[in-house]
């Protein structure tokens, strides 16, 4: 053992790593499974791919929709989007995009409408394994004007008609051969079988090395049309355990921890206290909405007074300030305060134990048992099972705080957590949680919560457990609002609808809003140009602006 | 050498009973005695935690966000944890849980293993072959999927009453059941091997010749003579279970909060290792010291129960 | 002998087939399927998408049918595609296997190389201060939670005294022998500390037992020096039981390094198995687990053969020993 | 082959054509057995009430197997064990239990034959418990009586076996065998693990018991001197066969089988002077897994001829001595013992 | 001090001279004297039989000659000399040079005394190679010769046999071959025939006698069996509770035992053709070495013992004609 250690030190002495100022090593906690941009969406993949390619549209750091691969964002105003009436009489829209001048695959082949058509072909094929079928179903057909310009004919006119963030163009010249048998495509796609093929990428970087489960190496892509990136090489290393991640950062074997997939907030806060002078630490509030889904079929939770009392009995401000240093804003609804659709008129539930008590008294939970918990007339205790993913430390902490706060109000909380695989794979999806399920949604700015709130999205065996309305929330007015918001193009009018929706949501409380998560970005002082977005589009969409300013 | 050995030990044993000899030999193993004392103190402390809690005037589960990460003080002798709870009392409760899980799971494994081992060792033949292949199978069984499946089982479907399923300690019982389901193989093998040799002893033949049935022979003649390896293995396995619980916690499959166990306290503190190392230090040390104590105790028991020493 | 080995191999194959179904069923019985997870990570998926994807992944059929389908394909050499790594499982595994082989092989060799002499030393000086210290160290190694040990080693040797890489298999652009070796140091030390204690204890106990045997006295009586007695007469006999234990532990070592691999971000088999189970990568998990089972079975066989090789009394060809 | 019974009375125990083989090897579910050890090859004899038959032979000859088959610790492959008219070989369960109540065993090793975890009272009283005889008090009383009878102090009833010396332990084992008041005791080498000075004590005890109770003994030993002292009749076994069976005096005065003579010849006599070189019987006892053809003793026998190599001789009465039977093609004549014409110097034939 | 040897061997001194040898084992209840100060010697070519029951110290004293008293036992007094070489004064590291070379030992249980994982031939060759310079082939040659000399048929085949592949008699022959490989002056045989069948026992006794004739070594033959000792020994030494109680030539001992223990021992053993109704017995059991009676160790069991025997231990004295006994009564009575 001692010998082994000595040997180790010997090795250490002779092979110390040299610091290369043109190499950036990023650490993150998740390995991207597939690299095919259209199969499965996964944050780790999005993060890496954003360095190697660009979507047609995405949201910028101010949460506005911008063009990345297209020349101009088509709008009804600028005439690139045109209303059209469909054969069935419904309102559709034709949106025209032009591929950016100079967009060229890494092997020199230009990105053309051929690729667009191929992507559409793949996307709409039922057997291809593409995850997001919705967008491709909405595209009725694609009109090609020339090698760079094409028009999407969409089956309805929604307010976000021009956002095609998930239309990720695929290289027809490489991957078409792999699509001969659509069923096999997801296994054969060059992104996974030949990941380092330069022809797959057209962004500032291309992938030159992939070590499964361990790291991905990117190098500058010579065919990139935009600003020349500063770093010659970027290495993304996968280190799952955040404690180890931190150790790696401190030991210098990684330079930067991706905020999107990095440390937990409290680790970040603690890190700032100790290493604030060496690192620039940013806490960006994000569109990750932490909440508790309530099972509205639970007899106790059916009563809105109980639900209201539940949230009134929580001191979320205290929780946020103590646990998260006020970095995570308390949520009043699913809408982030920074989102333009956020309505100030939404009812806000401040900590009000007295009112909570009155509500519970009124709901028939006036009596207390020997342990101080409320009981109803039948002597049954007011008790709920609170579930979340096991092993997720922050959530477990929050859980315990909630439990403790609710206890003061006489509400008994039983905690039962499950591994993510079981929790999301079964319990939540199939609505098997008895009362409360805590988890988060990650969304884009102004995204319509149809899947989570519309009564048609209640998951049942009949609909194959799809949809995401796990609370079994049914409100005809909400259904109507969701339908209306989608097709309302006028922002002020839409704002009114949004406000109403938020109000209903906050009143009905199918979900207990907790807060919006903030990700700590731990950036060494010399690393400049990283601007956290706060939504689902990653910072790496601006990777060409990253640079080192070493003394 | 035999003669000398004989002359040396036989008279020395003369007046002593098996137990006094056993304690005498155990007493000579100072580390084992120290470990036993340590474990006894720990056990008493852990199971007297509610009283200690009352005396100190703290509440193990009371979250107080205004008192997070406090250093030792008169109110909190070891300070507070990340949720402002008293660290000392939580450690004691954690000890209660870890010891309980360790001891109960080890006992349950020992019982299963003993039954399997006795049957296989005494009856031999096809039953033995079957039970041993079963044992091999369980050893080769991938633990992880099993753990996940068990963690996901809907216990109400197994006919368990709601009150049990709703029990806040259910994660604890799950762990015990899971560990017992897979942990019996060592004891089974040991007992089988011991039973195989004891089965050939003349006193077993004598009992058979006197007309004793299989049950009686196993209970009266074989079991008491294979009890030493069972006790030793079980003592050692208490330590292993405590370690295993911490590993399960590490994987998120362990005992769920707010119940404290050393395993989940250590796992939770891991991410705070840089800012509050003491949160990881205490449970880590306690696991380490407790497991090592069980190992020493097991080692001491093994020496003290060495059949060579008793038989003379 | 050959017949015995053949028989054992046939037995192993049968066990393997049974295990393949058990594992398949276990994974299949676990709640949730990949599509559920996909839905979770992409809120825009619709019911239709889910149904379509289930069909694409073949998850809409009953378990037994899926197993048969898999087994037939496996027999023709197609072990399926990894869902997580989007490559044939047989292409994914070698990399992990090689890493595990390096990690485990090294740990294994170092542990034995240290444990054997140390165990013998302790046995020969039973109850001495050295024996005492060795025992203490062994128990310490056995008793420390391994993830804790890993973290401590990282903190000490990668952060406080930054002499070794904290994680990974090789550095970027590196990957030379020295570089890989450096990356192996901490995980190997961790696993070695963890496994060496029990090996040493076994070796010690075994040696003590052997040194009490009559033939040791015979060896002394014919004038062999102490060293010669230990090396030529005691060692081989003492190794006998230890070989079995070590070979058996090889199987667990193989799949049991999950914690170490996780802590050191070292992509090995333990982690592959864990991730594929957690990530619902059916084919991957199945093949990796089966492989681990196979290794365990082979280790078992190897243990028996090693035993036979070391101990002439064991003869698998029959006609050997005479019962009394 | 039929067993000769002394005195012409109905035998207490009659063993007929016992055959017992043991499989060697064969572990695992799919392994086949690799061979068989022929432990008993048609063993027949009888013991009358109150009679002592000594079974003599060297290790591996099957004498212990014979004992265990009779006590039904092993089930014979074929043959019968008629004990008081009941065939024990065929019985099972409760019937077997009650049938063998009158048949008890004493084992060789007094250290291994007593359960170290039970006090002496429990050891001696166990057969009573098994057969549900008497109340606890009665049993206790009975145990004390037995202890006195075998020369133990009843005050030691709570002690454990390890607190007794070897001789005392063998007394405990004898008490256990006697507690059910059996009619036949099978004593398997009851002396060989004891110190020389203790052997005589135990031998006397056995003899006293036999005389007091009129017990029959099957006395298994390799020590012919003890046989001469204790037995009424002697059966000599070699490699699973009984090669000679005769009244004690006849066997020692006029052994008929060359092997019997070899055994008698090999006994060292204290004060008999130095051993004469070249008188020892050559060769090893063959491996029972691969016994020689024909007469099992032929490779070591100086008198062996072609017929011995081919045919196993049957056990047959010596002319004019019905009780003296020998299985030999070339039995010794009278006076072989003195003549020294014995089997002595046969060269090893292997 | 006197010698058990009867035959004068001219100027050759004894092969082995043991004086006041004392071997002690520390125990929890105090030191246990397994050998309580014994003196004897063996002349070249002679065989000394050592008789006694278990625990009398006969094996331990023999092991002491090779410096192999099992720990924690220690030689706590007296001297052992091989010829003129004082073994007890030698360095631990020098002892291996003597073992196997000048004095060899064979044991009761040849199965356990042989290393199970080495072939018999290898083990014999090793015994030779440890003390003789030569190549591996030389050692093999020497081993084959030895196998032949101990009358093992097919030595070349047997060379490669492992102990478990041999019968008990063959194993003991191999042990003897190993012990005699370097032609020692003294062979210590510790119950070498006890584990063997009677016909094989006779063979081994014959073999040892033949070997003695061939090699001319002295033999210290330990046995609890008076018959065996009587067949092989020139002189006999009877031990009881760590002490020598009687020592004389074989003929003297068996024809005229002087110590009550020796007498009793001979009478209690059943003899062929000497059928009696009851065997004489020795009362009581072998004494606890930690709790010996104050006087003569045998006084508890001795029918002749009186107050004097219980108070003082008798010394081993010559009763005339080299017949030694440690008994007050034998001195009184005379032959």
Taking CA–CA distances from C32, the nearest residue in chain B reads B152
Nearest C-alpha neighbor of D210 from the set D188, D187, D192: D187
Cβ neighbours of C324 in B, within 8 Å: none
Q: Dihedral (C-alpha) B192, B195, B196, B202: value to the nearest 10 degrees?
A: 180
Contacts with E, B 12-41, CB within 8 Å? 12, 14, 24
Q: Give the pLDDT score at E299.
A: 87
Quick one: pLDDT band at residue B69, thresholds 50, 70, 90? confident
Chains B and A make contact, 3+ CB pairs within 8 Å: yes
pLDDT range class, residue B290, cuts 50, 70, 90: very high
The count of structural domains within chain A is 3
Q: How far is B106 from chain D (nearest CA, A)?
A: 24
Helix spans in C125-172 (H)? 129-143, 146-154
* C-alpha distances out from residue D273 to D278, E203, E218, E269, Å: 15, 16, 19, 17
Q: Give C-chain residues touching A233 at CB under 8 angstroms.
A: 172-173
Contact E198 D222 (CB under 8 A): yes
Encode pLDDT of D174-195 as tens digits: 999 999 889 999 999 888 888 8
Q: By CB neighbour count within 10 A (0-12 exposed, 13-18 middle, 19+ buried), where does B182 fall? A: middle
User: What confidence score (pLDDT) does residue E305 get?
Assistant: 85
The reported pLDDT for the residue numbered B156 is: 64
* Same-domain status, A317 and A354: yes
Task: Give me the sheet containing A436-442, strands edge to edge.
Answer: A205-211, A215-220, A233-238, A23-28, A256-257, A511-524, A279-294, A436-442, A383-387, A412-415
Residue A103 distance to chain C (closest CA, Å): 27
What confidence tier does C174 reach under pLDDT thresholds 50, 70, 90?
A: low
Q: Say if residues E191 and E108 touch (Cβ distance below 8 Å).
A: yes
- pLDDT score of D337: 63
HSE-up of A547 (CA within 13 Å, CB side)?
A: 8
Domain shared by A434 and A412, yes or no: yes
In a domain, A16, yes or no: no
Rounded to the nearest integer, the mean pLDDT of chain C is 80
How far apart (Å, rounded) are the C-alpha atoms in residues D107 and B198? 15
Residue of B82, B83, B256 lying closest to A417 (CB–CB): B256
Half-sphere exposure of B89 toward its Cβ, with a 13 Å CA cutoff? 21
Tokens representing residue D155 in the block: 């005050």
Helix (H, G, I), strand (E, B) or coil at A345: coil
For A135-173, the pLDDT digits (tens) are 888 899 999 999 999 999 999 898 888 988 888 999 999
| Touching status, chains A and C (3+ beta-carbon pairs under 8 Å) | yes
Quick check: E289 and E238 in contact, CB under 8 A? no
To the nearest 10 degrees (0 to 180), the angle between helices B143-152 and C2-29 is 30
Which of C103-112, C304-313, E186-195 has the lowest average pLDDT? C304-313
Q: Each residue of E255-312: pLDDT tens digit?
A: 989 899 999 888 888 877 767 677 888 888 778 888 888 888 888 888 888 888 888 8
CB-CB: which of B133, B207, B213 is closest to D29?
A: B133
Residue C154 three-state SS: helix
Residue A10 pLDDT grade (very low, low, confident, very high; cuts 50, 70, 90): very low
Cβ–Cβ contact C321 with D under 8 A = yes
Q: Kindly state the tokens that stand for D316.
A: 């047959």
E contacts of D262 (beta carbons < 8 Å)? 199
Specify whether the backbone of A63 is left (phi greater than 0), alpha (psi in -120 to 50) or beta: left
Test B4 with E70 for CB contact under 8 angstroms: yes
Same domain, A118 and A252: no
Q: Give the per-residue pLDDT at A293.
A: 94
- Chain segment E17-46, per-residue pLDDT in tens: 999 999 999 887 788 889 988 999 999 999
Q: pLDDT tens digit string along B208-221?
A: 888 888 889 998 89
Which chain E residues are Cβ-neighbours of C232 within 8 angstroms? 118, 126
Interchain contact B152–C (C-beta under 8 A): yes
Nearest Cα to Cα of residue A70 among A42, A95, A49: A95
What is the percent of chain D where pLDDT is above 70? 89
Tokens of A88: 């069935």
Please judge whether C321 and D37 are an interchain contact, meaning their C-beta atoms are less than 8 angstroms apart: no
Q: Kindly list the residues from chain A whose CB atom is less than 8 angstroms away from the CB atom of residue B152.
A: 418-419, 422, 426
- Measured in angstroms, the CA of C178 and the nearest CA of chain B are apart by 30
- State pLDDT tens for residues A60-107: 988 899 999 999 999 999 989 999 998 888 889 999 999 999 899 999
Question: CB D162 to CB B15 under 8 A?
Answer: no
pLDDT score for D100: 80
- Tell me which chain B residues have a C-beta less than 8 angstroms from the C-beta of D68: 205
Q: What residues of E are in contact with residue D274 (Cβ under 8 Å)?
A: 209, 231-232, 250
Domain containing residue A42: CATH number: 3.40.190.10
Q: Are residues A262 and A404 in the same domain?
A: no
Residue predicted with more confidence, B147 or C208: C208
Q: The domain that contains A444 carries what CATH number?
A: 3.10.105.10
What digits encode the pLDDT tens for the residues B226-271?
888 888 888 888 988 898 888 888 887 788 777 888 988 888 888 7
Q: What is the pLDDT of residues A248-298, one digit of tens each?
A: 888 888 899 998 888 888 888 888 888 888 898 888 888 889 999 999 999
A502 and A398 part of one domain: yes
Neighbours of chain B (3+ CB pairs under 8 A): A, C, D, E
Could you tell me where the beta strands, DSSP code E, fall in C18-127? none
Confidence at residue C253, expressed as pLDDT on a 0 to 100 scale? 65
Residue of C nearest to E94 (CA): C225
My answer on whether A317 and A257 are in the same domain is: no
Which single residue is written with the structure tokens 């059996």? D182
Tell me the count of B-C CB pairs closer than 8 A: 92
At residue B259, the pLDDT reads 84
A362 assigned to some structural domain? yes
From B245's Cα to the closest Cα of chain C, the distance in A is: 10
Say yes or no: A244 and A216 in one domain.
Answer: yes
pLDDT above 90: percentage of residues in chain C:
10
Query: Which one of E115, E123, E127 makes the best mutation probe of the C interface by having the most chain C beta carbons within 10 Å?
Result: E115
Structure confidence at residue B104 as a pLDDT band (50, 70, 90) = very high
Check CB contact of B312 with chain A, cutoff 8 Å: no
Specify the pLDDT at position C41: 56
pLDDT value of position E187: 94
> Is position A184 within any domain?
no
Q: Closest chain D residue to C4 measured between Cα atoms?
A: D31
Is A12 a domain residue?
A: no
Mean pLDDT of A199-220: 91
Confidence of residue A26 (pLDDT cuts 50, 70, 90): very high
Name the residue facing C324 among D25, D31, D59 (closest C-beta): D59
- Same domain for A348 and A381, yes or no, is yes
* CA-closest candidate to residue D185, choices D251, D133, D127, D122: D127
Indicate the helix (H) or strand (E) that contains B264: helix B262-270
Question: Which residue of D101, D109, D118 is in closest CB contact with B202?
Answer: D109
> Degrees (nearest 5) of the Cα angle C214, C220, C226?
115
**Domains of chain D and any CATH numbers:** 3-26+33-102+186-340 (3.40.50.300), 106-181 (no CATH)
Residues of chain D found within 8 Å of residue B310, distances taken between Cβ atoms: 116, 162
Q: Smallest Cα–Cα separation from C86: which of A127, A29, A422, A212? A: A212
Can you point out the beta strands (E) in chain E? 16-27, 30-42, 47-51, 74-82, 85-86, 103-106, 186-190, 218-223, 235-240, 243-249, 317-318, 324-325
Using CB atoms, pick whichever of C83, C178, C188 lies closest to residue A4.
Answer: C188
| More reliable by pLDDT, C38 or D12 | D12
- The 3-state DSSP class for residue E208 equals helix
Return the HEC string of E91-143. CHHHHHHHECCCEEEECCCHHHHCCCCCCHHHHHHHHHHCCCCCCHHHHHHHH
Mean pLDDT computed over C296-311: 78
Same domain, yes or no: A214 and A261:
yes
Instruction: List the CATH number of the domain containing A82.
Output: 3.90.76.10
| Count of pairs with CB atoms under 8 A, one residue in B, one in D | 84
**Of B304 and A354, more confident:** A354
Residue identified by tokens 């006919």 is: B159
Q: What is the pLDDT of residues B113-166, one digit of tens each?
A: 999 999 998 988 788 888 887 887 777 776 766 777 776 666 666 667 777 766
Residue A107 lies in a domain: yes
Nearest CA in chain A to C57: A129
DSSP states along C58-84: TTTS-HHHHHHHHHHHHHTT---B-TT
CB contact under 8 A, C31 and A211: no
Contacts of A241 in chain B (CB under 8 A): 270
Give the pLDDT confidence score for residue D233 in this predicted structure. Answer: 93
A282 by DSSP, 3-state: which?
strand
CA distance A532 to chain B (A): 23
D59/chain C closest Cα distance in angstroms = 8
Nearest CB to E289 within list B2, B7, B24: B7
Task: Choose among B129, B209, B221: nearest Cβ to D105.
Answer: B209
The alpha-carbon gap from B200 to the nearest alpha carbon of chain D, in Å, equals 9
Rounded to the nearest angstrom, the minimum Cα separation between B152 and chain A is 6
The encoded tokens of residue D129 equal 């418990």
Residue A436: is its pLDDT beyond 90? yes
Q: Are residues A212 and A149 in the same domain?
A: no
Whether residues B10 and D165 touch (CB distance < 8 A) is answered with: yes
Closest to C171 in 3D by CA, of A194, A544, A248: A248
Q: Are chains E and A in touch, 3+ Cβ pairs below 8 Å? A: no
Write down how long chain D is: 350
D68–E contact, CB cutoff 8 A: no
Is the domain of A329 the same as that of A409?
yes
Q: Which position has the token pair 């180890």?
A: A244
Residues A253 and C169: their CA atoms lie apart, in Å, by 12
What are the structure tokens assigned to B300, written together? 């001491």
Classify residue A513: in a domain, yes or no.
yes
Are residues B212 and D131, on separate chains, in Cβ contact within 8 Å? no
- pLDDT above 70 for E49: yes
For residue B201, CA distances in Å to A254, B208, E206 come to 65, 11, 36
Buried b / exposed e over A322-360, threshold 16 CB at 10 Å, is: bbbbebbbbbbbbbbebbebbbeebeebebbbeebbebb
Contacts of E among chains (3+ CB pairs under 8 A): B, C, D
Chain C positions in Cβ-Cβ contact with residue E115 (cut-off 8 Å): 215, 218-219, 233, 237
Within-domain flag for A186: no
Name the phi and psi angles at D12, rounded to 5. Answer: -75, -45
The range of the structural domain enclosing residue A143 comes to 57-175
Judged by DSSP in three states, D166 sits in helix
Which chain B residue is nearest to residue D187, measuring alpha carbons?
A: B206
Strands A65-67 and A91-98: unpaired
pLDDT digits (tens, 9 = 90+) for D191-244: 888 888 888 888 889 988 888 888 999 999 888 888 888 899 999 999 889 999
The answer to whether the CB atoms of B211 and D28 lie below 8 A apart is no
Q: Is the pLDDT of residue E199 over 60?
A: yes
Specify the pLDDT at position A311.
95
Calpha distance E232→E204 (Å, rounded): 11
In-domain check, residue A475: yes
pLDDT at B312 over 50: no
| Same-domain check for residues A417 and A489 | yes
Q: In Å, what is the CA distance from E166 to each residue of C1, C308, D240, D284, D317?
A: 21, 18, 20, 10, 37
pLDDT in tens, D19-69: 988 876 544 444 444 567 778 888 999 999 989 999 998 887 888 899 999
């Amino acid at each position: 053992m001692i010998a082994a250690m000595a040997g180790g030190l010997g090795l250490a002495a002779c092979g110390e790593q040299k610091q290369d100022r043109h190499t950036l090593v990023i650490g993150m906690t998740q390995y991207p499974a597939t690299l095919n941009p259209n199969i499965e969406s996964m944050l780790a993949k999005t993060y890496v791919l954003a360095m190697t390619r660009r979507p047609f549209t995405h949201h910028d750091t101010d949460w506005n929709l911008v063009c990345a691969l297209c020349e101009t964002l088509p709008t009804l105003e600028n005439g690139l989007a045109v209303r059209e009436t469909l054969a069935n009489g419904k309102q559709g829209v034709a949106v025209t995009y032009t591929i950016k001048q100079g967009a060229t695959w890494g092997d020199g082949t230009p990105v053309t409408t051929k690729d667009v058509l191929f992507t559409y072909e793949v996307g709409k094929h039922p057997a291809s394994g593409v995850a997001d079928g919705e967008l491709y179903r909405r595209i009725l057909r694609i009109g090609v004007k020339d090698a760079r310009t094409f028009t999407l004919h969409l089956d309805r006119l929604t307010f976000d008609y021009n956002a095609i963030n998930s239309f990720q163009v695929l290289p027809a010249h490489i991957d078409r051969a792999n699509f001969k048998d659509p069923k096999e495509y997801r296994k054969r796609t060059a992104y996974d079988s030949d990941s380092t093929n330069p022809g797959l990428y057209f962004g500032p970087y291309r992938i030159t090395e992939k070590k499964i489960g361990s790291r991905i190496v990117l190098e500058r892509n010579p065919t990139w049309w935009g600003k020349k990136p500063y770093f010659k090489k970027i290495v993304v290393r996968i280190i799952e355990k955040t404690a180890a991640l931190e150790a790696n950062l401190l030991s210098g074997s990684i330079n930067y921890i991706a905020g999107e997939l990095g440390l937990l907030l409290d680790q970040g806060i603690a890190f700032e206290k100790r290493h604030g002078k060496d690192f620039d630490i940013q806490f960006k509030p994000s569109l990750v909405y932490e909440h508790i889904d309530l099972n509205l079929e639970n007899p106790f939770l059916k009563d809105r007074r109980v639900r209201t009392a539940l949230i009134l009995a929580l001191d979320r401000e205290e929780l946020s300030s103590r646990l998260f240093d006020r970095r995570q804003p308390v949520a009043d609804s699913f809408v982030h305060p920074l989102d333009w659709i956020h309505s100030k008129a939404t009812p806000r539930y401040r900590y009000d134990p007295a009112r909570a008590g009155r509500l519970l008294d009124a709901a028939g939970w006036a009596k207390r048992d020997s342990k101080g918990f409320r009981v109803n007339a039948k002597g049954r205790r007011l008790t709920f099972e609170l579930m979340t993913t096991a092993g997720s430390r922050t959530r477990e902490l929050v859980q315990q705080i909630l439990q403790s706060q609710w206890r003061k109000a006489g509400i008994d909380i039983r905690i039962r957590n499950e591994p993510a695989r079981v929790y999301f794979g079964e319990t939540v999806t199939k609505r098997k949680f008895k009362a409360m399920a805590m988890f988060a949604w990650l969304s884009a700015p102004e995204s319509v919560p149809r899947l989570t709130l519309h009564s048609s999205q209640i998951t049942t065996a009949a609909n194959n457990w799809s949809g995401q309305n796990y609370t079994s929330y049914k409100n005809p007015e909400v259904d109507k609002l969701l339908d209306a918001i989608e097709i309302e193009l006028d922002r002020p009018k839409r704002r009114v609808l949004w406000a109403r929706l938020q109000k209903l949501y906050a009143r009905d409380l199918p979900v207990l809003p907790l807060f919006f998560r903030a990700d700590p970005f731990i950036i060494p002082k010399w690393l400049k140009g990283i601007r956290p977005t706060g939504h689902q589009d990653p910072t790496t969409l601006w990777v060409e602006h990253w640079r080192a300013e070493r003394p | 050498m035999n003669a000398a050995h004989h002359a040396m030990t036989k008279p020395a044993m003369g007046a002593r009973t098996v137990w006094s000899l056993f304690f005498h030999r155990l007493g000579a193993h100072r580390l084992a005695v120290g470990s036993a004392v340590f474990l006894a103190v720990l056990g008493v402390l852990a199971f007297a935690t509610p009283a200690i809690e009352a005396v100190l005037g703290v509440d193990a589960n009371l979250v107080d966000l205004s008192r997070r990460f406090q250093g030792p003080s008169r109110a909190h002798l070891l300070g507070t944890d990340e949720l402002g709870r008293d660290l000392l009392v939580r450690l004691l409760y954690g000890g209660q849980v870890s010891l309980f899980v360790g001891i109960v799971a080890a006992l349950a494994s020992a019982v299963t293993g003993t039954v399997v081992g006795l049957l296989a060792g005494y009856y031999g033949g096809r039953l033995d072959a079957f039970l041993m292949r079963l044992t091999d199978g369980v050893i080769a069984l991938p633990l992880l999927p099993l753990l996940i499946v068990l963690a996901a089982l809907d216990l109400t479907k197994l006919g368990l009453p709601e009150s049990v399923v709703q029990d806040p300690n259910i994660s604890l019982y799950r762990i015990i059941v899971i560990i017992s389901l897979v942990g019996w193989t060592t004891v089974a093998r040991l007992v089988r091997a011991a039973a195989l040799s004891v089965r050939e002893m003349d006193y077993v033949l004598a009992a058979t010749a006197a007309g004793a049935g299989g049950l009686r022979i196993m209970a009266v003649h074989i079991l008491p003579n294979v009890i030493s390896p069972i006790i030793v293995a079980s003592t050692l396995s208490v330590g292993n279970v405590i370690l295993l619980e911490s590993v399960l916690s590490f994987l998120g499959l362990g005992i769920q909060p707010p119940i404290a166990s050393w395993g989940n306290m250590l796992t939770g503190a891991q991410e705070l290792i840089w800012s509050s190392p003491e949160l990881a230090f205490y449970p880590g040390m306690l696991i380490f010291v407790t497991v090592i104590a069980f190992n020493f105790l097991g080692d001491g028991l093994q020496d003290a129960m060495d059949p060579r020493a008793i038989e003379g | 002998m050959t017949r015995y080995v053949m028989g054992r191999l046939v037995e192993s194959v049968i066990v393997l087939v049974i295990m393949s179904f058990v594992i398949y069923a276990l994974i299949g019985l676990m709640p949730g399927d990949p599509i559920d997870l996909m839905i979770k990570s992409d809120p825009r998926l619709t019911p239709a998408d889910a149904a379509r994807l289930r069909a694409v992944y073949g998850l809409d059929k009953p378990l037994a049918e899926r197993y048969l389908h898999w087994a037939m394909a496996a027999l023709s050499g197609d072990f399926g595609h990894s869902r997580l790594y989007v490559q044939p499982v047989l292409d994914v595994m070698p990399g992990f296997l090689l890493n595990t082989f390096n990690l485990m092989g090294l740990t294994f060799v170092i542990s034995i190389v240290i444990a054997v002499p140390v165990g013998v030393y302790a046995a020969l000086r039973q109850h001495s201060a050295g024996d005492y210290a060795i025992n203490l160290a062994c128990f310490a190694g056995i008793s420390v939670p391994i993830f804790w040990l890993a973290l401590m080693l990282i903190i000490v040797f990668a952060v406080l005294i930054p002499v070794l890489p904290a994680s990974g298999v090789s550095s970027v652009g590196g990957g030379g022998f020295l570089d890989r070796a450096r990356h192996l140091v901490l995980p190997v030390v961790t696993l070695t500390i963890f496994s060496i204690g029990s090996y040493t204890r076994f070796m010690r106990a075994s040696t003590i037992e052997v040194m009490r045997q009559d033939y040791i006295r015979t060896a002394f009586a014919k004038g062999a020096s102490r060293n010669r007695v230990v090396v030529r007469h005691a060692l081989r006999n003492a190794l006998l039981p230890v070989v079995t234990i070590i070979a058996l532990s090889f199987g667990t070592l193989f799949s049991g390094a999950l914690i170490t691999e996780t802590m050191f971000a070292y992509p090995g088999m333990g982690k592959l198995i864990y991730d594929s189970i957690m990530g619902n990568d059916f084919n991957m998990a199945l093949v990796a687990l089966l492989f681990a089972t196979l290794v365990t079975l082979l280790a078992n066989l190897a243990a028996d053969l090693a035993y036979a090789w070391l101990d002439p009394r064991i003869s698998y060809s029959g006609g050997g020993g005479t019962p009394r | 082959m039929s067993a000769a019974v002394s005195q012409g009375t109905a035998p207490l125990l009659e063993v007929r054509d016992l055959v017992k083989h043991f499989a060697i090897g064969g572990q695992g579910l799919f392994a086949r057995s690799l061979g068989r050890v022929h432990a008993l090859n048609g063993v027949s004899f009888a013991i009358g009430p109150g009679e002592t038959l000594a079974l003599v032979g060297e290790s591996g000859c099957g004498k212990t197997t014979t004992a265990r088959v009779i006590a039904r610790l092993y089930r014979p492959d074929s043959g019968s064990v008629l004990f008081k008219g009941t065939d024990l070989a065929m019985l099972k369960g409760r019937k077997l239990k009650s049938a063998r109540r009158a048949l008890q065993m004493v084992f060789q090793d007094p250290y291994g034959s007593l359960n170290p975890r039970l006090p002496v009272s429990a050891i001696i009283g166990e057969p009573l418990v098994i057969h549900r005889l008497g109340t606890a008090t009665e049993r206790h009383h009975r145990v004390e009586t037995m202890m006195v009878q075998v020369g133990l102090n009843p005050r030691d009833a709570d002690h454990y076996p390890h607190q007794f010396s070897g001789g005392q332990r063998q007394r405990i084992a004898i008490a256990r065998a006697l507690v059910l008041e059996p009619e036949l005791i099978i004593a398997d080498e009851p002396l060989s693990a004891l110190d020389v000075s203790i052997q005589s004590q135990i031998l006397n005890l056995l003899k006293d018991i036999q005389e007091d109770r009129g017990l029959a003994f099957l006395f298994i030993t390799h020590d012919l001197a003890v046989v001469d002292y204790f037995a009424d009749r002697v059966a000599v076994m070699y490699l699973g066969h009984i090669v000679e069976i005769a009244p004690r005096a006849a066997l020692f005065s006029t052994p008929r089988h060359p092997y019997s003579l070899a055994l008698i010849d090999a006994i060292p006599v204290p004060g008999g002077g130095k051993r004469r070189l070249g008188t020892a019987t050559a060769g090893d006892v063959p491996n029972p897994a691969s016994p020689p053809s024909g007469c099992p003793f032929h490779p070591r026998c100086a008198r062996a001829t072609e017929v011995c190599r081919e045919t196993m001789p049957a056990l047959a009465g010596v002319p004019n001595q019905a009780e003296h039977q020998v299985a030999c093609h070339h039995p010794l004549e009278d006076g072989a013992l003195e003549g020294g014409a014995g089997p002595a110097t046969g060269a090893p034939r292997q | 001090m006197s010698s058990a040897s009867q035959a004068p061997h001219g100027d050759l001194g004894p092969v082995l001279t043991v004086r006041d040898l004392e071997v002690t084992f520390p125990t929890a209840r105090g030191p246990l004297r397994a050998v309580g100060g014994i003196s004897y010697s063996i002349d070249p070519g002679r065989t000394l039989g050592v008789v006694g029951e278990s625990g009398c110290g006969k094996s331990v004293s023999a092991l002491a000659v090779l410096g192999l008293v099992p720990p924690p036992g220690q030689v706590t007094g007296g001297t052992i000399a091989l010829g003129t070489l004082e073994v007890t004064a030698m360095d631990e590291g020098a002892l291996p040079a003597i073992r196997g070379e000048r004095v060899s030992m064979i044991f009761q249980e040849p199965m356990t005394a042989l290393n199970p994982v080495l072939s018999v031939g290898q083990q014999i060759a090793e015994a030779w190679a440890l003390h003789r310079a030569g190549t591996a082939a030389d050692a093999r040659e020497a081993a084959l010769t030895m196998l032949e000399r101990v009358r093992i048929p097919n030595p070349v085949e047997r060379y490669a046999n492992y102990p478990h592949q041999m019968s008990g008699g063959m194993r003991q022959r191999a042990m003897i071959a190993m012990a005699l490989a370097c032609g020692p002056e003294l062979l210590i045989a510790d119950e070498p025939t006890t584990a063997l069948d009677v016909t094989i026992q006779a063979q081994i006794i014959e073999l040892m006698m033949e070997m003695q004739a061939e090699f001319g070594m002295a033999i210290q033959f330990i046995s609890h069996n008076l018959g065996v000792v009587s067949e092989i020994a020139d002189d006999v030494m009877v031990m009881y509770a760590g002490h020598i109680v009687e020592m004389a030539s074989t003929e003297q001992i068996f024809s005229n035992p002087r110590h009550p223990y020796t007498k009793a021992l001979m009478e209690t053993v059943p003899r062929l053709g000497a059928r009696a109704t009851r065997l004489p017995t020795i009362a009581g059991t072998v004494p606890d070495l930690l709790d010996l009676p104050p006087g003569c160790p045998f006084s508890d069991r001795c029918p002749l013992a009186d107050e004097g025997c219980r108070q003082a231990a008798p010394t081993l004295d010559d009763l005339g004609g080299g017949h030694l006994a440690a008994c007050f009564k034998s001195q009184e009575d005379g032959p």
